[in-house]
Every structure is written in C-alpha cells, then in structure tokens.
C-alpha cells in the first residue's frame, strides 16, 4: 500500500492539535453519538486503506476521544455499553483499531523525523543553527518504536521525554484510571470493560 505524502503537519505533536477540537457532546443523545462513532470508524478505515496515515490518525484519535467522553458520562450504563458493542464491534475490533493506531503513530513519527532531517541537511543554514544551539540527545539513534513491551519505569521515562511523542491508550477501568491521576497530553482512557472479550 503506497503511503500518501505528508501534508497536514511537520511532527506528530503538531498533528495532535488537529484532533483536540472535539465539540462539547454533554447534551448530545447517545443515538447521535453512535452514528458519529460509526462514521469516524468507517472514514478512518477508508483513509488508512488509501495510504493517508495523517488523516486516518486524526479520525481514529477523534473516534477514541469520543468513545472516552461517552464512557465518562454519568448516565453511562451496561445497556449503553451493550449497544456500543453491537454497533461498533466487540473487544477484538477495539484492540485491532488500537494496534492499527499505534502502527500509524510509529510510522508517522519515523516519517516526520526522516523528512525533517532531509530538509535540515539540504539547508546548511538550518543545520548550522540546529547543531550550534541544540545538544544531540544520547538516545537519538535508539528506535524505541521497535519495543512492544516496556516496564513501568521505561513508560514513565518516555512520558517525561516530550520529544518521543508517545501515544498512551489506557484500558484500565474508569475508576482506576481516574485514581492514577495521569497528566499527559497524548493519553486516552478506553475502559476495557466497554467491550466484551472474545467478541
């Protein structure tokens, strides 16, 4: 699958600004929200299959953000949870989308870095400015995207290093997530209990 040229941002952090404009859905009916979720999922899948990773990433993030907002509503109950599972797919579908989003994120981060580096080397003035004012981190050449399992300490380290652009999707129950008091810009809580395992 050929990937579409980058056109929406110059970094993953810049791209993240484009999915944070979710409108207030506090008073929107669940039926309407479910329709929006299905449209987001369908459109995200289509853009991904066309190789447009940037727009697919934005749509997937809006999808999970909206899903998170729904789970936090006071009136959220087992009946609504079951309806979500029926309309959007079960646990396996949710995990598949999360894995796809992580794959897209890793790909985009690498592509942004490569494009930025190529531009820097083509422009001597930019290269001189960057090398004279910025100290190269010792871990710059380490490809952290190749790791699939990390320790709590490594996760904490990545979250502290803003340059890594780590995307964190927390699947703990809502109560456990809120009790942890995580403060991180690229963190979404998609409670695992919203989806029935094995479906």
Residue ending a domain, choose from 91, 122, 153: 122
Q: Is residue 93 located within the same domain as residue 173?
A: no
- Structural domain boundaries enclosing 184: 167-194
Rounded to 5°, angle at Cα 112 from 108 and 116:
175
Asked whether residue 128 is domain-assigned, the answer is no
- pTM (two decimals): 0.66
Per-residue confidence (pLDDT) for residue 52, from 0 to 100: 98
| pLDDT band for position 120 (cuts 50, 70, 90) | low
Give Cα 31 to chain centroid, integer Å.
25
CA neighbor of 192 nearest in space, from 101, 98, 102: 98
Asked whether residue 109 is domain-assigned, the answer is yes
Q: What is the DSSP string of 102-131?
A: HHHHHHHHHHHHHHHHHHHHH-HHHHHHHH
CA neighbor of 101 nearest in space, from 50, 58, 134, 141: 58
Residue ending a domain, choose from 102, 122, 142: 122
Per-residue confidence (pLDDT) for residue 117, from 0 to 100: 72
Q: Is residue 84 located within the same domain as residue 173?
A: no
Asked whether residue 43 is domain-assigned, the answer is yes
CA neighbor of 16 nearest in space, from 143, 164, 196: 164
Residue 11 in contact with residue 112, Cβ under 8 Å? yes
């Amino acid at each position: 699958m050929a990937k579409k040229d980058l056109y929406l941002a110059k970094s993953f952090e810049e791209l993240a600004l484009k999915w944070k404009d979710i409108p207030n859905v506090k008073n929107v009916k669940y039926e309407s929200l479910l329709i929006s979720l299905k449209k987001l999922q369908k459109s995200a899948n289509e853009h991904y299959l066309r190789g447009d990773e940037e727009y697919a990433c934005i749509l997937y993030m809006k999808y999970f953000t909206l899903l998170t907002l729904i789970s936090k509503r006071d009136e959220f109950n087992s009946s609504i949870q079951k309806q979500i599972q029926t309309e959007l797919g079960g646990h396996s579908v949710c995990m598949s989308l999360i894995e796809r989003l992580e794959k897209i994120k890793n790909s985009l981060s690498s592509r942004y870095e490569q494009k930025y580096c190529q531009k820097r080397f083509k422009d001597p003035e930019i290269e001189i400015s960057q090398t004279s004012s910025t100290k190269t981190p010792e871990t710059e050449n380490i490809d952290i995207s190749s790791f699939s399992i990390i320790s709590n300490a490594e996760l904490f380290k990545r979250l502290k290093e803003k340059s890594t652009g780590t995307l964190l999707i927390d699947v703990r129950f809502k109560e456990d997530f809120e009790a942890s008091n995580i403060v991180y810009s690229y963190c979404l809580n998609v409670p695992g209990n919203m989806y029935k395992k094995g479906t």
